[in-house]
Amino acid sequence: MKFPWFKRSGILFLPVSLMGWLIALAAVVYSVYVFIDIDSHSHSVSDTLMNFVFNLLIIAAVYSLIAFLSSRKAKS
């Protein structure tokens, strides 16, 4: 890969290309969709948050894996 999609900044991966921004935007949009879907089926605030946190961790793990695999390698 000639041009990386993400740049590592500490423990975060920041998008640096159009494809990186599209992946980041898709992750945010999907997170909002999942929250609204869970909120429409739950009975309380704690029920919503407990179910959403698990889904958010999965979304963050997939985002981090994609970003790790498509980021610039550190020069040693």
pLDDT tens track for 7-52: 988 889 999 999 999 999 999 999 999 999 999 988 999 999 999 9
Instruction: Say what the pLDDT of residue 15 is.
Output: 93
Residue 57 buriedness (CB in 10 A; 0-12 / 13-18 / 19+): exposed
Instruction: Say what the pLDDT of residue 74 is.
Output: 57
Domain ranges of the chain: 6-69
C-alpha span between 35 and 52 (Å, rounded): 6
List pLDDT tens digits, range 67-76.
999 987 655 5
